[in-house]
């Protein structure tokens, strides 16, 4: 029986098969639509959120979990005799890591470790999954922390955005950039650097998105010899299935890569139809 409990937040977008296999504790962020607030993923799963997003007059907003949300989870796990490793959304993108760090102060010394993943969606998810696997194998807390930091140093995320509408509505890009991008049919591919989202490249068609994502994964596979890869999407199940099959063939994978369906927090900023890969 594991003596270390793994905690993350709802932006980790853990693929279903890993959620079922490991006892990963997820603290939700909040999504605010109009006058109502929802717990991400639990009260507002993707299949409910994205139809709502299309109808929204005002853009939804998101916020970090309260310190008390983390305190409650930590206290319960510690009362079961567990040490806690809490791995969270990049501190550049959210105050979630700060909330978890403040909650740690209420726990006995040495019982809780909090890690800034410097990542989001499946690039956070891979760090959590690696930790959960190590905990299930009886690793000590200190060794799992070292493992997560090693995965953090390697993990990559490349994400193609289908429409610039939501980046513009959310104030992430200006009107001219959004207009030009839409007119020229540019689809930006973003990645992560130093915990923030940055532009990587841009393509003009869905086919080019597939080819670019495969090319990026192939380059690292050739360099590293082996990678652990998954795909991530926002309300794009058909596209994601096509990409999985292409990656399996082009990378010589034994089985289709796992799928992470990103929820309302990421979806608010990138909209539906986004598609990406994450690997380490």
pLDDT digits (tens, 9 = 90+) for 151-200: 999 999 999 988 766 665 655 445 444 444 454 567 888 899 999 888 88
Rounded to whole angstroms, the Cα distance separating 247 from 244 reads 5
Give CA angle at 62 (182, 173), nearest 5°. 25
Listing DSSP states for 2-44 in one string gives: -SEEEEEEGGG---HHHHHHS-EEEE--EEEETTEEEEBTTTB
Q: What is the pLDDT of residue 206?
A: 86
Report which DSSP code applies to 12. Answer: G
pLDDT score, position 49: 95
pLDDT score, position 171: 53
CA distance 264 to 46: 6
Q: Give the per-residue pLDDT at 198.
A: 84
CA distances from 104 to 6, 117, 170 (A): 14, 16, 32
pLDDT at res. 262: 95
Looking at residue 8, what is its pLDDT? 98
Scanning the structure block, which residue is given the tokens 């979630």? 96
**Mean pLDDT, the chain, integer:** 91
Model pTM? 0.93
State the CB neighbour count (10 A cutoff) for residue 68.
12
pLDDT score of 65 more than 70: yes
Domains, in order of start, for the chain: 4-29+64-152 (3.40.50.10170), 156-279 (3.30.1180.10)
Instruction: Write down the pLDDT at residue 169.
Output: 61
How far is residue 87's CA from residue 100's CA, in Å, rounded to a whole number?
A: 9
Question: What is the per-residue pLDDT for 59?
Answer: 86
Determine the angle formed by the axes of helices 237-251 and 206-224, rounding to 10 degrees: 40
CB-based contacts of 109: which residues, under 8 Å, 6+ apart? none
Distance of CA 119 to the CA centre of its chain: 7
Instruction: For 80-119, write each residue's pLDDT tens digit.
Output: 999 999 999 999 999 999 999 999 999 999 999 999 999 9
Read off the pLDDT of each residue in 191-215 and give the average, rounded to a whole number. 91
Nearest to 160 by CA among 200, 126, 127, 218: 200
Q: What is the pLDDT of residue 178?
A: 42
């Amino acid at each position: 029986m594991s003596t270390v409990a793994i905690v993350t937040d709802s932006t980790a977008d853990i693929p279903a098969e890993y959620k079922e296999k490991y006892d990963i504790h997820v603290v939700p962020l909040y999504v605010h639509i109009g006058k109502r607030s929802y717990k991400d993923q639990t009260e507002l799963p993707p299949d409910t959120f994205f139809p709502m997003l299309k109808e929204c007059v005002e853009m939804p907003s998101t916020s970090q979990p309260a310190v008390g949300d983390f305190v409650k989870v930590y206290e319960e796990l510690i009362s079961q005799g567990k040490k806690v490793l809490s791995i969270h959304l990049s501190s550049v993108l959210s105050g979630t890591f700060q909330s978890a760090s403040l909650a740690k102060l209420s726990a006995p010394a040495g019982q809780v470790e909090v890690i800034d993943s410097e990542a989001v969606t499946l690039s956070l998810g891979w760090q959590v999954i690696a930790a959960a696997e190590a905990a299930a194998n009886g690793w000590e807390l200190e060794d799992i922390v070292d493992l997560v930091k090693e995965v953090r140093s390697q993990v990559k995320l490349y994400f193609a955005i289908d429409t610039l509408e939501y980046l513009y509505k959310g104030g992430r890009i200006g009107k001219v950039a959004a207009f030009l991008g839409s007119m020229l049919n540019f689809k930006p591919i973003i990645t992560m650097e130093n915990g923030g989202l940055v532009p990587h490249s841009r393509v003009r068609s869905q086919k080019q998105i597939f080819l670019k994502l495969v090319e990026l994964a192939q380059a690292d596979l050739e360099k590293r010899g082996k990678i652990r890869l998954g795909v991530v999407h926002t309300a794009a199940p058909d596209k994601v299935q096509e990409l999985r099959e292409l990656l399996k063939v082009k990378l010589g994978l034994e089985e289709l890569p796992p799928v992470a369906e990103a929820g309302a927090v990421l979806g608010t900023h990138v909209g539906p139809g986004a598609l990406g890969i994450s690997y380490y």
